[in-house]
Amino acid sequence: MANKNDLEGLQIPEHIAIILDGNGRWAKKRMMPRNYGHVQGSKNVERICRAAYNMGVKYLTVYAFSTENWSRPEDEVETIMKLLNNYLKDCIKLTTKNNMKVRVIGNISRLDESMQKRIRELEEISASNTGLNLQVALNYGSRDEILRAMKRMMVDYDKKAISLDEIDETLFSEYLDTKDIPDPDLLIRTSGEQRLSNYLLWQMAYTEFYFTNVLWPDFSEKDLEDAVRYYNSKERRFGGLTNG
Ligand code: IPE
Ligand code: IPE
Ligand code: MG
C-alpha cells in the first residue's frame, strides 16, 4: 500500500489514463518470447489498480488492445486475447470483493461471442460497486470511437430525437464510450514512446502527459507515485492565465 506520508499534501488526479506499453521489449531484454511479456504485463494491471485506488484515484483507464493491434502476428493477438479473457474472468470473481466497477470501452462487436458475454456479465455484476472505476480499452481506437458516436448521433438526428442546435460538446460526449466518465487528468505512457497511438483523443484535450522509460511489467507503485508528483508540479491553465 502507498505510504500516505509520501503523498501527503499532493493532489491526487481523479482520473488517470495509462498506455501500458513495453511488454515485448521487456521480454526481449530477458531473451524470452514477446508473449511472456504480455503474461507479466497482464499481472501488473491488478497491482496498479490496487495502488491507484489506495492513493485515492477514482477512475483508471487502461489501454489493453488497440484497433491497430490486430495487425500483429496471429499468435500474438491470440495470446493477448486469451490473457484478456482470463483477466475478465478473474475480474468477475474479484469485483465484488474489491468493490471495483468495470467498464470496457472500444468496439467489442469484433471480439468473439464468449468474450462479449463475459464483458456484459462483468459490467452488470459490478455496475453498482462504489470503489475504483476501471475502464479497460479493448479493441479501442479513438477515431473509431468518434465515428461510432457520430453515427449513433446521426441516427438520433434522423429520428428527430435531437436537433442540430442541441449538439454541443456535452451532448457529443454522451455518445462516446466514456459517457459519464470525467476526462483524464493525467496520462501515463510507459516504455519511452511519446505518442498517443489513437488513445482518447477527444477526452485528453487538457490532460497532463507523463512519459517514463520504465517498461510496463516493471511499472510499480513507486513509479505511479512519481507520475502523481510530476502531475503536482504542473499548473493546469485550461487556456486561462497563470495564478501568480
Ligand atoms: C503493450 O506492449 C501491450 C499491447 C500493445 C497489447 P507491446 O506489445 O506494445 O510491447 P512493445 O512496445 O513491443 O515493447
Ligand atoms: C498502444 O501501444 C496500444 C496499447 C498499449 C494497447 P502500441 O505498442 O500498439 O503502440 P505503437 O504501435 O507503438 O504506437
Ligand atoms: Mg508497444
181-230 pLDDT, tens digit each: 999 999 999 999 999 999 999 999 999 999 999 999 999 999 999 999 99
pLDDT on residue 187: 98
pLDDT on residue 207: 98
Is residue 198 among the annotated active site residues?
no
- Start-to-end C-alpha separation, the chain: 36
pLDDT on residue 242: 79
C-alpha cell of residue 239:
487556456
List Cβ neighbours of 217 (8 Å cut-off, separation of 6 or more). 22, 23, 26, 37, 40, 41, 43, 44
- Let me know how long the chain is: 244
Which ligand is closest to the CA of 19, given by its number? 2
Q: Which residues pair with 101 in a beta bridge?
A: 133
Check 54, 69, 99, 129 and give the catalytic one.
Answer: 69
Which ligand is closest to the CA of 34, given by its number? 1
Which ligand is closest to the CA of 22, given by its number? 1
Model pLDDT for residues 6-34, shown as the tens digit of each residue: 789 999 999 999 999 999 999 999 999 99
Ligand 1 atom with the shortest distance to the CA of 19 = 1
pLDDT on residue 214: 98
Give the mean pLDDT of the chain: 96
pLDDT on residue 52: 98
Residue 58 C-alpha from the chain's centroid? 13
Fold of 11-140+182-231: Undecaprenyl pyrophosphate synthetase (3.40.1180)
Measure the CA–CA gap between 80 and 36, rounded to whole angstroms. 10
Tell how far the Cα of 240 is from the centroid of ligand 2, in angstroms. 33
Q: Are residues 217 and 20 in contact, defined by beta-carbon separation less than 8 angstroms? A: no
Q: DSSP H helical segments within 73-216, as ranges?
A: 74-98, 113-126, 142-158, 169-173
pLDDT grade, residue 103 (50/70/90)? very high
User: Does residue 2 carry a pLDDT above 60?
Assistant: no
Question: Could you tell which of 65, 197, 201 is best to mutate to test the pocket of ligand 2, judged by most ligand atoms within 8 Å of the CB?
Answer: 197
Measure the CA–CA gap between 63 and 60, rounded to whole angstroms. 10
Tell how far the Cα of 189 is from the centroid of ligand 2, in angstroms. 10
Measure the CA–CA gap between 5 and 223, rounded to whole angstroms. 16
User: Does residue 5 carry a pLDDT above 60?
Assistant: no
User: From the CB of 219, is ligand 2 less than 6 Å away?
Assistant: no
pLDDT on residue 31: 98
Model pLDDT for residues 32-54, shown as the tens digit of each residue: 999 999 999 999 999 999 999 99
Tell me the residue ranges of DSSP E strands in the chain: 15-19, 59-66, 101-105, 133-140, 186-189, 208-211
Measure the CA–CA gap between 25 and 85, rounded to whole angstroms. 23
Model pLDDT for residues 104-144, shown as the tens digit of each residue: 999 999 999 999 999 999 999 999 999 999 999 999 999 99
pLDDT on residue 4: 54
Measure the CA–CA gap between 233 and 21, rounded to whole angstroms. 24
Tell how far the Cα of 3 is from the centroid of ligand 2, in angstroms. 32
Is the whole-model pTM more than 0.75? Answer: yes
